Amino acid sequence: MPPVILSAAGACLVLDDSGPGLPRVGHFGADLGPVAGSVLAPALESLAPVPPLLPSQGDGWYGRPGLAGTRHGEHWPVRWTLDALDARPAPGAGGTVTVTASDPRAGLRLATELAMDAHGVVTMRHALTNTAPTPYRLDGLTCALPVPARAAELLDFTGRWALEKTPQRRPFTYGVWSRENRRGRTGHDGTGLLVAGTAGFGFRGGEVWAVHTGWSGDHLHHAERLPEGAALLAGGELLAPGEITLAEGETYLTPWVYFTWSGSGLDEAGGRLHDHLRARRGRPLPVRPVTLNNWEATYFDHGLDRLLRLADQAAQAGVERFVLDDGWFRGRRHDRAGLGDWYVDEQVWPDGLHPLADHVRKLGMQFGLWFEPEMVNPDSDLAREHPDWILGRHERTPPPQRHQQVLDLARPEAFDHLLDRLDTLVREYSLDYIKWDHNRDIAEPVHDGVAGVHAQTLAAYRLIDELRRRHPALEIESCSSGGARVDYGVLARTDRVWTSDSNDAIDRQAIQRWTALLVPPEMMGSHVGAPHDHVTGRSLPLAFRAATALFGHMGVEWDLTSASEAEREELAVWIALHKRLRPVLHAGRVVRADHPDPAALVHGVVLPERAVFAFVQLASPVASAPAPLRLPGLDPAAVYEVRVAGPAPGGAVLPAWAREPVRLPGSVLGELGLPAPGLRPASALVLEVERA
């Protein structure tokens, strides 16, 4: 048979099923043009050996196998026989391929789904079925695609609480570079994307390939290159020993794994992923209301009068949604008690939350509430009444973190109780929004005697899905002590992520810059924090904090009752600017210049007719004459008007174009650029660009 070709948006995948065994991906990269599969057959024969869709030694792959498992402690090497291949290419719009294979001697059957969407993103997952009468213990099953020899560097990310998405680069040498997460959630150090690229690739240049595992539990990404010349990127769920044992007829389904390619740097690769995520939701994302969260304003102080005043100030500033954070439920005067008792605290709220919710809605704002459904304090009625609901071995309680234990959501009675409480509160208060938190790693997870992260993750998904089914208009934010649950598994069922618990605008510039490779701006919570940041202790001007929050799903995390009248008026100006610009910010293509000055950043969001950019000065520049301000992503043949949007930062030395709008072709703005303004450290200038 001739090779199968899937192509879309300038990307192409060629699947060679000439056999024997499973098909092999002969090419994933630039579109090859209008060529027939028969023409490609000789070229595929001349390529360096490439692994099949599920690599194994039987296929000549001597790297990490795609499938690992045993049957009664015996190792059965698998040699797949291709049973069927159903290819449905849609030239220019991708297409789908379903592969089924079996090995009767090993007692296994495999079904692989592979698709390319209209944006060139490839998704893959495997389903493995045990066809033998004896149990099969599955130890690992990953999805992989090959990358060519010119992929010479690797980029991934690490991080910690309040400093997520810290990049790290290294040569793509021989052997395995593996990132394995065993935290029971995506993790602050979760890489999100593992990227391979040509030497020196950046945001706007170089060829890159990337993989993302859409799973909120334990997971892995790895890159491997063998001396024989083959190399690949892979991802999947990281299974603990004995976590998955398949009885006869049972099937394990991997998470979806996402692959993207770009011929012109990271921006294009991320843009494909943004387009994919925006298109797959099945419903349009509503206008993203400017959100005030009261946590850093009041913490556990839930005095009604104070919250009413905060709501008044929020509404006057232009806020559209008010979210009541931790502290509203029984016994919750600090973080050591009450978690899990999802009843409004009668001592603090004798009339329930209605006085606050009604006041918020009279002011024209939506009302939201914070929950942490998957956790429980040992000092709670729930834990005292149901100690057996804690995830772990009952003979020995797992180590506590943050005075918390984890509820075993895979226990039907625990699941039903949580669903009932959440459903009841959403109905009673007609909640518009839930901030769904998950504040600790999962240690020593045991469910029914086996490792429990897999069952816990699926149960959390079911809980969110059922709540959304009952309340289709409800919006849910995925928060996990900041950005520790950011992945396409949770984003399949939530509306945004809380990007970081740090609102320090300097740190946020980098956190948002790299998170945006995976998540579009309208799904990244980005708030204006207080003048003195509660995490870093750094004091930053309002203009810089607001210009940073402008480029996400904007909100406020600040006690506005303590702000001066001038500060509240300036904040209102920035919120009004965000509302005016969010049709661009929340729909356009994210672009980042490879700016030569490491003390400065240039980034923006571009639509065909309009764009918004920011020039950000993080620290003092080394050069006395700053590098030109180049605006990437514009149509080189079009003429644009460039003007300053929003308040100019204090102390700025503005060139002539920043004082009066200028009109220039996109080619000039992208290549030659504009004279850069002179900005003090920790300041930003926002630019609005419109096709003339």
User: How far apart (Å, rounded) are the C-alpha atoms in residues 152 and 172?
Assistant: 5
Cis status of the peptide bond prior to 55, with omega within 30 of 0: no
Q: Where on the phi/psi map is residue 667: left (φ > 0), alpha (ψ -120 to 50), or beta?
A: alpha
User: Which of the residues 59, 341, 487, 501 is marked catalytic?
Assistant: 501
Residue showing tokens 């509404």: 315
Q: Is 341 a catalytic residue?
A: no
User: Which of the residues 218, 437, 441, 507 is marked catalytic?
Assistant: 437
Q: Where on the phi/psi map is residue 364: left (φ > 0), alpha (ψ -120 to 50), or beta?
A: left
User: How far apart (Å, rounded) are the C-alpha atoms in residues 651 and 312?
Assistant: 32
Query: Known binder of ligand: residue 498?
Result: no
**Beta-carbon contacts of residue 255 (< 8 Å; ≥ 6 apart):** 125, 213, 214, 215, 219, 236, 237, 489
Collapsed DSSP state (helix, strand, coil) of residue 492? helix
Q: Is 437 a catalytic residue?
A: yes
Query: Known binder of ligand: residue 402?
Result: yes
Query: Known binder of ligand: residue 514?
Result: no
The gap from C-alpha 671 to its chain's centroid, in whole angstroms, comes to 31
User: Cβ(557)–Cβ(296) under 8 Å?
Assistant: yes
Query: Known binder of ligand: residue 326?
Result: yes
**Beta-carbon contacts of residue 400 (< 8 Å; ≥ 6 apart):** 378
Query: Known binder of ligand: residue 330?
Result: no
Query: Known binder of ligand: residue 12?
Result: no
* Helix or strand run (H / E) with residue 545: helix 542-549
Query: Known binder of ligand: residue 479?
Result: yes
Read off the amino acid at residue 6. L
User: How far apart (Å, rounded) are the C-alpha atoms in residues 266 and 571?
Assistant: 33
Query: Known binder of ligand: residue 436?
Result: yes
Of 21, 158, 14, nearest to 89 (Cα)?
Answer: 14
Rg (CA), the chain: 26
Read off the amino acid at residue 335. D
Q: What's the start-to-end Cα distance of the chain, in Å?
A: 53
Query: Known binder of ligand: residue 80?
Result: no
Annotated binding site for substrate: 161, 325-326, 402, 435-439, 479, 501
Annotated binding site: 161, 325-326, 402, 435-439, 479, 501
Catalytic residue list: 437, 501
